[in-house]
Structure 1
Amino acid sequence: MLARPPHQIVWDYLNHTQFELNIDYCQRLTQLINNPALLDKNHPIDRDFYNAKLFTDTPIAPVEWQWDELSKIFHIGTKNLPQEQIPHDVHEWSAQYLAHCQDVLATPAPSSSQRECLPEELIRLPACMPPFEAQGSLVDSLVSRKTCRSFTEKNISLSHISTLLYLSLGYLNERKDDVDPSLPKGLEARRSSPSGGGLNASEGFLYASRVDGLKPGIYAYHCALHALSHVSDLPPAPLGQLLSGQHFINNLPAGLFITSRFDKLWWKYEHSRAYRMAFVEAGHISQTFQLVATHLGLNTWLTGALTDDCVETLLGLDNTTEQPLFFVGCGYGDGRVQCEALVALINAQEKNP
């Protein structure tokens, strides 16, 4: 239930419907919740509740769910896209999809970038490693990739950072001539990872602690320009403080906060199921980042456990339509899956069970 004075909104999240209740309906609903035996189908308000399918005579089987109710509401509330009619063949689908796209394109598109910088504020990155210079196979990177929680103090080169950002988030110059003529103007840019609706709603902020040629700090990546701009200095608190206390990662030399531009998703997809796609897209980019880093001889680590309020402030995203969803980092490490402190604790418990 949502309070929207002077009324209260009741949300049937299973059927994607909402109802506005005045004070009389709210009071009656409270009475019925307190004492269901008062339910009377001849009562005008109760009859309205029945007609709206807010009440039912059919027992509702409980859903097994061991997280909190909010997560269940989100999962159920984003199931089954609301459609007047599910297309029965490819021709119906094409007609519906084209009509939807035309409606979307009739409205102003979100800005391509929320971070406008003067040319002198941009830090141009070295060219990405040419594909023909790449050694090894995709299979090698897939097999070799693993999560590492023990990193050294060795710096990462700016060249490696450039290659990582370009192949993970950059708009690929190699695909400029491979654009389908049906794509609307402004949506031609292509990344190495798929994006919901071709919107490229994900952005990235580089966490640079020890990168050759870069002052330690937080940098926004400008994917169309393959350039960085300084956002803020590193906070006095260690990196682990930004990542829900995971302090074993404090000496990580570099990482990427992956964000999502919700305004881009809202523009094309009004239904909240698109929120699921924001995380799916972040996952695609995270995997690409890790495979590229592994190919470059770097170890990787990733987490979705963010201290969100602190990260939003650090990135300058407080109360904006762009929000951080994920973090993936890289550096030179010894490949250990667990940090030294946890291994020592496990060993101690094994010795003294």
Structure 2
Amino acid sequence: MRVRRCKVLYLEPRESAGFDLESLLAGGNGMRHGQHWFALAPHLGEEVEVDAAERELLGTLSAERWTDSRELAGQADALKRLLEAGLVLATGKRNAALRERDQVLRAAYWHPLAAVVHAFTRWRDADAVQAMQDTGTETAGELREVLGSPPVEALQRGSADDRIALPRAARNDFDNLLARRATCRNFEAGRPLPQALFAQLIERVFSAQSQVRVSEDTVFLKKTSPSGGGLHPVEAYLIVQNVEGLAPGLYHYHAVAHALEPLPAPEQPLHALAMAAVAGQHWFADAHVMVLLAPRYDRNFWKYRVHAKAHRAITLEAGHLSQTLYLSATEAGLAAYITCAINELPLEQAFGLDPLTSGALAVCGFGWRGEEMVTMELDPAGEIWHPEAPALSPKGTSFVA
């Protein structure tokens, strides 16, 4: 049997501290400290604690060259454990599944650091609302009380006397549109969204406006938002909850055909998936349509191979798409949001995504704004809500403005 280390691997030392009764009874401080090592391998998606022998073996094995396992006879126990964990890979059918996962990562051309960040910052069952309640940071006032004063809201570089004042422009229709853009946390869930309005927004934000065909198998799309390298790797996966003429369910949007592709129903009720998707942020889960922004990493990394900035370009694209959605929704008399506080794992499962090649990055939503502000929205100028509406008193201040 031949073996080699997995392609991407980082080792992290961590210190633990806990109560030790024996230490306290012996006259000590009652604390127990420990040092642990964890292996972070993106193809596994879960961290693995390793001991000193396993750590040293990982440091000596090549990720490219295969080694005859008989040469490691003196480290048999450590090798066995690392093979079982998937940190070391072996030839043969018995080890095929883990070896294939590592091969998928290799073929996707991830930058190692980006792969680790992507793999180990995904959530499974996080509850953002409960987290705010537990920390006492549900309102802006509570944030200030618990965390202290934040960095200044507008950075000053130099003396105010040295500033060069710029003329204020006369406000036009586009300025009015920008002023009405505000993250929605209050949807009128029971009011159906007309299909024509739904289709208009999807087309404006996510459809291909035109194409550049280099060859039959190399095509670049032009959309209304910019994309690094013109690759447009971010796909739109939809949770449709209340659109006229559309069955509630999961869909993929085909950007060239301007069409929905129905997907299998999720294992859990649709609204339960919506709640899980946005980590319990119920004010977002009621949107008529929720859009998962899901990058195809393999398309982006086809050009930007093992590139330090490739993942950043994808993140920028998601931001561009969300702003285009905000403005398109606002112009249409609708409301929208984006959040990155999402549970990626249930979304990956529901939409059939492999996180090594196509993952969950953020969730947007749009629909009719409700008539009452139950959850705070940032509208200090009263562009949407009348000036007497509460500004920061309702719950839910972990907002995107």
TM-score, scaled relative to structure 2: 0.49
Question: Among 321, 341, 359, which residue is 1:285 paired with?
Answer: 321
Question: Among 158, 173, 190, which residue is 2:195 paired with?
Answer: 158
Q: What are structure 2's unaligned runs of at least 5 residues?
A: 12-52, 60-112, 118-171, 377-389, 396-401
1:105-128 deviation line (CA, Å, top 9, x unaligned)? xxxxxxxxxxxxxxxxxxxxxxxx
1:303 aligned onto 2:335 = no
Shift of 1:307: 0.7
1:275 aligned onto 2:295 = no
Match in the other structure for 1:215: 247
1:168 aligned onto 2:200 = no
Deviates more, 1:137-146 or 1:211-220: 137-146
Shift of 1:188: 3.8
Question: What is the alpha-carbon distance in structure 2 between the residues aligned to residue 138 and residue 297 of structure 1?
Answer: 14
1:177-198 deviation line (CA, Å, top 9, x unaligned)? xx6x9x7773342000001101
1:283-338 deviation line (CA, Å, top 9, x unaligned)? 11111111111111001122111111101111111455111111111111237676
Q: Percent identity?
A: 29
What letter corresponds to residue 309 of structure 1 in structure 2? L
- DSSP-derived class of the 2:250 partner: strand
Match in the other structure for 1:50: none
Match in the other structure for 1:250: 285
1:192 aligned onto 2:228 = no
1:182-218 deviation line (CA, Å, top 9, x unaligned)? x777334200000110111111012110000100001
Cα 1:314–1:6, aligned 2, differ >3 Å: closer, same or farther? Answer: closer
Cα 1:319–1:329, aligned 2, differ >3 Å: closer, same or farther? Answer: closer
Does the aligned pair in 1 maintain the 2:284–2:365 contact within 8 Å?
no
Shift of 1:137: 4.4
Question: What is the alpha-carbon distance in structure 1 between the residues aligned to residue 310 and residue 278 of structure 2?
Answer: 25
Cα 1:228–1:9, aligned 2, differ >3 Å: closer, same or farther? Answer: closer
Question: What is the alpha-carbon distance in structure 1 between the residues aligned to residue 257 and residue 327 of structure 2?
Answer: 23
Question: What is the alpha-carbon distance in structure 2 between the residues aligned to residue 252 and residue 144 of structure 1?
Answer: 18
- How many residues in Structure 1 have an aligned counterpart in Structure 2? 227
Cα 1:330–1:346, aligned 2, differ >3 Å: closer, same or farther? Answer: same
1:154-197 deviation line (CA, Å, top 9, x unaligned)? 1111111211111111011xx46xx6x9x777334200000110
Shift of 1:243: 1.2
Shift of 1:5: 3.8
Match in the other structure for 1:265: 300
Matches within 5 A, 1:291-330: 291-319=327-355, 321-330=357-366
Cα 1:145–1:207, aligned 2, differ >3 Å: closer, same or farther? Answer: same
Does the aligned pair in 2 maintain the 1:187–1:198 contact within 8 Å?
no
What letter corresponds to residue 288 of structure 1 in structure 2? T
Question: What is the alpha-carbon distance in structure 1 between the residues aligned to residue 222 and residue 191 of structure 2?
Answer: 33
Match in the other structure for 1:231: 263
Question: What is the alpha-carbon distance in structure 2 between the residues aligned to residue 293 and residue 268 of structure 1?
Answer: 33
Cα 1:253–1:184, aligned 2, differ >3 Å: closer, same or farther? Answer: same
Does the aligned pair in 2 maintain the 1:149–1:335 contact within 8 Å?
no
Does the aligned pair in 2 maintain the 1:299–1:335 contact within 8 Å?
no
Cα 1:8–1:190, aligned 2, differ >3 Å: closer, same or farther? Answer: closer
Cα 1:238–1:203, aligned 2, differ >3 Å: closer, same or farther? Answer: closer
C-alpha RMSD of matched pairs (Å) = 3.8
Question: Among 366, 369, 374, which residue is 1:333 paired with?
Answer: 369
TM-score, scaled relative to structure 1: 0.55
Question: What is the alpha-carbon distance in structure 1 between the residues aligned to residue 233 and residue 296 of structure 2?
Answer: 5
Cα 1:337–1:238, aligned 2, differ >3 Å: closer, same or farther? Answer: farther
What letter corresponds to residue 220 of structure 1 in structure 2? H
Shift of 1:239: 1.6
Q: What are structure 1's unaligned runs of at least 5 residues?
A: 12-22, 30-72, 78-135, 349-353
- DSSP-derived class of the 2:263 partner: strand
Does the aligned pair in 2 maintain the 1:8–1:26 contact within 8 Å?
no
Does the aligned pair in 2 maintain the 1:231–1:316 contact within 8 Å?
no
Question: What is the alpha-carbon distance in structure 2 between the residues aligned to residue 209 and residue 8 of structure 1?
Answer: 40
Question: What is the alpha-carbon distance in structure 2 between the residues aligned to residue 260 and residue 6 of structure 1?
Answer: 24
Match in the other structure for 1:241: 276
Matches within 5 A, 1:33-52: none
What letter corresponds to residue 197 of structure 1 in structure 2? G
Does the aligned pair in 2 maintain the 1:149–1:336 contact within 8 Å?
no
1:75-102 deviation line (CA, Å, top 9, x unaligned)? 9x9xxxxxxxxxxxxxxxxxxxxxxxxx
